[in-house]
Every structure is written in structure tokens, then in C-alpha cells.
Structure 1
Amino acid sequence: MLSTALQGRVRMLERDEVEGEIAALYDKLYEERGVVPNMFKTVAQTPALALGFAAFLKPLMSDGELAAWYKELVATRVASLNHCEYCISSHRFLARLRGASEQQVAAVDSYEDGPFTEKEKAGLRYADKLHRSAHAIEDVDYAEVKKYFSDKELIELTAVAAAFEFFPRFVSALKVPVTPLPPETAS
């Protein structure tokens, strides 16, 4: 078992400590990522919430109107704005796993000069504004992002940016330790 310092504020549950739907969730996460994220090991203390997080994140972060890799970069950007090392590590890993280039992952904090299309930059600027406040998005900002994003894309972009205001607060408040990356991807 991990020491309390490595556990965070709430004890994380390992695979042999969970059953039923939570065990199936752990197995699915491990199959997809090669690791069970510490956030899920923490929230597993409240199974209905763990299942709810998973049910929410699956359609939110999968390919949809926007590519999953781009959503992961938006999540990485918002995590960076929130100074959440846990989330930055997780979403950089997932961005790579879902198809973002190393250059895109490395440039997410300096995206204006990075290897992004004008559309991708507009979406990241929008996420930056939303981070400041939902009220910070003025009509001029909306008009700018609408040049590039359909209504369906804008809904996904807004949902991703808003969701990753919540998750950094959750893991940071509980001091959830950064999930170690699978050995083959840890570099």
C-alpha cells in the first residue's frame, strides 16, 4: 500500500479492493490506457460518482464533432491554467495516445506560435477566455470562434473547457497524486 503522502487526502482503492461495476471500470480503464488513473482510484470510494464521472467523460472526450486529441489538448491547456500537475500529466498522455503530435503537446501553453491551425488556436483562445469567466466571453469573442466552429463543435468545445475547470479543482483539493504513466509511454 502507498504511504499517506502518496495517497493524497483520500485513500485510493486498488483493483483488489473494488468489486462489480467499479472493478469493470478499472479493467476498462486499464485496457484503454495501460493504467487506472488515481482520480478514479480516489472517487471509487463513492461508486455512483465514479461511474458518473466515467459516463460523463466517455462521450465528452471521445471523437465527436471535434477530434479526441484536440479535446485532450484543450483539457491540457485548461489544466495548465489551473496549475494542476495531475491533469496536465494525464491529458498530455491522452492527447498523444489519441493522435496529437509531440509538437502540439509541447506547444499547448504557447499555442499562438505552435503547430496549430487558425481554428485550433481560436478554440484554445476561447478556452482561455472561459477559464477567466463565462462572462469574459463577449459577443466579439463568440463571433471570432463562430468563424471556425459549428454549433455542435462549439457545444463540445465549451463542455470540454468547462469540465476541466471542475476536474482540476477536484483532484487538487483532494491532493490526488499524479498517476504514474505506463512504462512504455513514461518518457
Structure 2
Amino acid sequence: MLSCKQATSLASDYLEDELPFLQRLGMRIHLARCSHCAEFLSGLREANELVYEQAGAAARPDPDFLNRLRSSVSAHLQKDKSMTDPLEPGAEASNEPLIAGVDDPVDERVRRIFDDIREKEGFVPNLFRAYAHQPDVLEYNWAREKSLLYGGILDESFKSAIVVVVSSDNHCDYCVHHHRAALLSSGFSCAEIEMLVSDPENTRFSDREKALLALARQANLDPHRPADLLLARVRAEGASDAEIIEAMSVMELYSSWNKFLDVMRIPLESDVC
């Protein structure tokens, strides 16, 4: 999840299209939700265009000059208290995890669950290593993941798409990374994955799946908003009640995991970074 301070520091690279996929995606989500940063980026873009205009179409200003200009604009705008993220403390928060994962479980039930996870996923994600401190919670969460993501009636790639969209909206890089990788391995391109968040109606999914995705997304972002029209669309596209429940359950599961992962600062596994 990008803070306003991080977003403004990345603004120049964003305008130059030099950010990697996840940072670019994070910027787009942040700008969609933060009018102050969107205004800052607009001002920075106008400053760039003005400099190019003054220099003439044939001459590109010196890159060092541009960087100094951008830094000056950024420093000036960040003096404005309205640019300060009200949820962000004055000091940078630590990135250290708040709970260590269980690497070598003593509990026989935990070892058995870890073996089952490895069989399905190839490794034990740090999320489940954290849950392993409470075997009942680990068993419950793995059972839900196993039944929803590896079972059910909806296509597995579509469910990963729900996870990417919901987790992007919730700023959970951990879940975005894992399910972006799942989509890439299923044949999706980086551009297609980015479009899931920015323009889901123009993705490769069927009209029925697009309707289910829109329902799940609204339920995550604004659960108190009436969903009658979205449900009517979902049913008009031929989705069954079982499919509606399954899509909503994927949203519900990962929405809760997003919060747990971010609050406890569970790190992404080093071997999948």
C-alpha cells in the first residue's frame, strides 16, 4: 500500500513510464483514491509540458534540470498539510514482521497441514506459517483456501482474478503478487492483469464472469451500497446462486487475509520475490 509520501516520490518515474508493474499498479490505485496526489501529479505533468513548450519542439531540456524542477515542485507541494496522509504516522513504519512464521512445526497436525499445502502449492506461504501458531486457525483457513481456490465450480484463473482485483483495491501487495504469478502461469500477460484493475469490462473473461467480478469488487469496496442492480446483471448473464456464493466467498476470504497480512506485516517469501 503506497502512502502519499511514497506516491509523490514515485511521481516522476510514473510520468516517464519507468516503474515496474506492481509499483505502477499501486500508483494507479492510490491516484484513484487520493485527490491530493492526483492533483500533485497533474501539476507535475503540466510543469513538464510547460518546460518542453518553452524549450521548443526540437529541444529536450537537460534531464538534471528536469529532476531539479520536479524535486522543487514536490518539496513545495509536500509543505501543504493537505498532502499529508491522515492515516500515516510522522515517522516511517517498520517493515519488520510483527509475528514470526513457524518454520519447523512440532505439532503433528500442523506438519500434516503443511505437507498438504506443499502438495497443492509447492511450498508453504508465510501466511500459513503465521497461522500455524494456532493450529485450529491454520486448519480452518487452509480448508477454506483449498475448497475455494482448488475446488468449486468457477474457473481457477477467474478466482485468481478476483483475488488480484480485491487485493489491489485493498493495497495488499502480498496477495497481488501471488495471484498475479498464478495468472501469468495461466497465460495472462502483464497488460491483461493490469487491465483487471483499471478496465475489467475489457478483459478476456465472459460476460457472466465480468458481472461476478463487478459484484465482488463492489462488495469489497462498499458493502453498504445496494447491490440489487449488480445482482440483476449477474443473474441476467446466467450465473447460478452457487457461482454467486463462490465468487463472494473468494472476495470475503481474501479481504480478511489482506487485513491480516498488512497489519501483521507478513513478508513475501524470499524465493518467490
Category of TM-score, reference length = shorter chain: 0.7 to 0.9
SS of 2:154's partner is: coil
Gaps of at least 5 residues in structure 2 are 1-93
Could you tell me how far apart the structure 1 residues matched to 2:151 and 2:100 are?
32
* Runs of 4 or more above 6 Å deviation: none
Indicate which of 196, 206, 220 corresponds to 1:108.
196
Tell me what 1:131 maps to: 220
2:166 paired residue number = 78
> What is the 5 A alignment of 1:2-17?
8-14=97-103, 16-17=104-105
**Aligned CA distance change for structure 1 residues 76 and 177 (closer, same or farther; 3 Å):** same
CA displacement at 1:153 relative to structure 2: 0.6
Larger displacement relative to structure 2 (18-27 or 171-180): 18-27
Aligned counterparts of 2:271 and 2:207: Cα–Cα separation in 1: 31
Q: 2:118 aligns with which of 30, 53, 56?
A: 30
Q: C-alpha displacement at 1:176, in angstroms?
A: 0.3
Residue 29 to residue 135, structure 1, CA distance change in 2 (3 Å): same
SS state at 1:119 partner: helix
Shift of residue 52, structure 1, vs aligned partner: 1.0
Counterpart residue type for residue 98 of structure 2: R
Displacement after TM superposition at 1:19 (Å)? 3.3
Q: Mapping of 1:158-169 within 5 angstroms?
A: 158-169=248-259
Backbone CA RMSD of aligned residues: 2.1
TM-score normalized by the length of structure 1: 0.83
State the partner residue of 1:143: 232
Higher relative contact order (CA 8 A, sep 6+): 1
Aligned length: 177
TM-score, normalised to structure 2, is 0.59
Closer, same or farther in 2 for the Cα pair 1:113/1:78, shift >3 Å?
A: same
Name the CA distance, whole Å, in 1 between partners of 2:180 and 2:225.
26
Q: Aligned in 2, Cα 1:156/1:38: closer, same or farther, shift over 3 Å? A: same
Quote how far apart the aligned CAs of 1:96 are: 4.5
Distance 1:18 1:86 in 2: 27
Q: What SS is found at the alignment partner of 2:224?
A: helix
Identity over aligned pairs, percent: 26
Match of 2:109 in 1: 21
Are the structure 2 counterparts of residues 7 and 30 from structure 1 closer, same or farther at C-alpha, using a change threshold of 3 Å? farther
Identify the match of residue 94 of structure 1 among 160, 164, 182: 182
The 2-side partners of 1:161 and 1:100 are apart by 23
Larger radius of gyration: 2
The C-alpha deviation readout for 1:2-58, integer Å capped at 9, x for no partner, is: xxx7761001111x2343121122222223222210001111111111111111221
1:100–1:106 CA distance, 2 compared to 1 (3 A): farther
